[in-house]
Amino acid sequence: MSDLPPPPPPPPPSSLLPPSPQPGSLAPGSMPAAQDAPAVAPQYEFSGQPSAPVDDAIVRTHELTKRYGNLVAVNAVNLAVPRGSIYGLIGPNGAGKTTLMTMVCSLLRPTSGSVSVDGHDPMVDPAAVRKKTGYMPDGLGVYEGLDVGGYLEFFAAGYRIPRNEWPALIDGLLELVDLEVKRDAQVNSLSRGMKQRLSLARALVHDPDLLILDEPASGLDPRARVELRELLWQLQSMGKTIIVSSHILTELQEICTHVGIVEAGRLLAEGSPSDISMKAGSVRRVEVRFLDGTTEMFEVPDAAAQAELLRRLVLDSTRPVLECRELSAGLEEVFMNVTQGIVQ
């Protein structure tokens, strides 16, 4: 047993309207001249490359591929996860998200390509990768007869943490995930949300730099999802990098600084949600509130058209502008623009 690497980590601590009128006579809802906008949103083209260079990436993959016979579960993926980010892997069930994550964690050997986790190759030095990484799988593995405290002690022993450090470590983890009152409860007696938090505490036992969370909000009620979201923000503020997968896009919309859209094993797009939205041809939406209390929505194709719209609205003395704000395209819209609905 002493020669084996530690077990994988678990969880603790628009429409464009007619030509522009002269200033002072701008019609409500009108837009910059239509010739500035494309008639049809451009089709997003798959490049297989990160959208922009990432200087400080804690995870990089190069042409990472996993085959099962004739099925290509992960297809030549080039991924770059910025250090300190909350990176969302978006894709339907069967897209290859879990396969990709388990290769990064050193739990699955690639067919071809390479992975680097903070400079370590999972296939060459899995122990170093597991020391850096906390993995929270979709399902919580439970051992019969273990209470919550004993469960975390089991994994602390697996990571060779000195026994005299266990009490303070476990107290801190249970406080972080708000399970202090459940320390003596049987793991099997916990609710789904509590098991998810315990799984996160387990992944944090060895204080990893990178957390990889596979569908962490699956099956949670609304309150538990809000609590999980706030916990992920707290972990990011502590310097953790978080990779989180989900096929429920609204979960990721509010928390992710970067996303990667995966379909049929391919990485179709990567970057910040706003960058991907622009490249995928999504229009910009601008909400304008006027002094008379009315609010209108405008759609523009790009930043230049948006600036022209705002200039004309401000010059229109008949309708004083009280507030303008840009509404970015949601992840659901971006996802629909980028993907094709391929099932494999």
Assess whether pLDDT exceeds 60 at residue 13: no
Q: What is the pLDDT of residue 88?
A: 92
How large a percentage of the chain has pLDDT more than 70? 76
Helix (H, G, I), strand (E, B) or coil at 336: helix
Lowest mean pLDDT among 128-137, 166-175, 215-224: 215-224
Q: What is the pLDDT of residue 344?
A: 64
Instruction: Give the separation between CA 61 and CA 81, rounded to whole angstroms.
Output: 9
Q: Is the distance from CB of 37 to CB of 25 less than 8 angstroms?
A: no
Lowest mean pLDDT among 25-34, 183-192, 312-321: 25-34
Per the model's pLDDT, the better-predicted residue between 24 and 328 turns out to be 328
- pLDDT tens for residues 48-73? 444 456 778 999 999 999 999 999 99
Class of domain 57-277: alpha beta
Lowest mean pLDDT among 44-58, 155-169, 216-230, 295-309: 44-58
All structural domains of the chain with their residue ranges: 57-277, 283-328
pLDDT band with cut points at 50, 70 and 90 for residue 145: confident
Instruction: Give the separation between CA 331 and CA 335, rounded to whole angstroms.
Output: 6
Q: What is the pLDDT of residue 56?
A: 87
- pLDDT tens for residues 288-311? 999 888 999 888 877 788 889 888
Residue 313 tokens read as 């609205």
Assess whether pLDDT exceeds 80 at residue 43: no
pTM of the entire predicted model: 0.72
Residue 66 CA, distance from chain mean position: 22
Q: What is the pLDDT of residue 202?
A: 94
Q: What is the pLDDT of residue 12?
A: 39
Lowest mean pLDDT among 128-132, 180-184, 245-249, 277-281: 277-281
Phi, psi for 270 (deg, rounded to 5): -150, 140
Assess whether pLDDT exceeds 80 at residue 157: yes
DSSP 89-143: EE--TTSSHHHHHHHHTTSS--SEEEEEETTB-TTT-HHHHHHHEEEE-SS----
User: What does the pLDDT average to over 243-266?
Assistant: 84
